[in-house]
């Protein structure tokens, strides 16, 4: 659950992440999908499109997001800590309250 001041759920502490696993991604990626709270921790999602997706409270901790597109995505309160965001498109994304600690940009 969320309030205007942020998530009301318990925050998961970061832990070690093995080499990111290659995720099975649908054709066309995850663009414009409702994926609130989905756990993508430690996944290899390089080049995947999340453009326009609802990713509130999603967990991308330690994920490889190189070249991924989050253009116009809702990433409110998402956990991107330790993620590799080099070359990622975040234009127009809502990052209110998102955890961007220790990301590679």
Region 34-45: mean pLDDT is: 94
pTM flag (> 0.75): yes
In tens, the pLDDT along 73-83 reads 999 999 999 99
CB atoms within 10 A of CB 92: 11
Q: What span, in angstroms and rounded, lies between the C-alpha atoms of 21 and 2?
A: 29
3-state secondary structure 18-62: CCCEECCCCCCCCCCCECCCCECCCEECCCCECCCCECCCCECCC
């Amino acid at each position: 659950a969320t309030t205007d001041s942020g998530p009301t759920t318990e925050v998961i502490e970061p832990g070690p992440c093995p080499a990111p696993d290659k995720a099975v991604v649908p054709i066309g990626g995850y663009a414009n999908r409702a994926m609130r709270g989905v756990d993508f921790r430690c996944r290899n999602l390089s080049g995947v499109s999340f453009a326009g997706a609802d990713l509130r409270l999603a967990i991308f901790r330690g994920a490889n997001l190189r070249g991924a597109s989050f253009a116009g995505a809702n990433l409110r309160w998402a956990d991107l800590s330790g993620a590799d965001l080099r070359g990622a498109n975040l234009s127009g994304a809502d990052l209110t309250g998102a955890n961007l600690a220790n990301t590679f940009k």
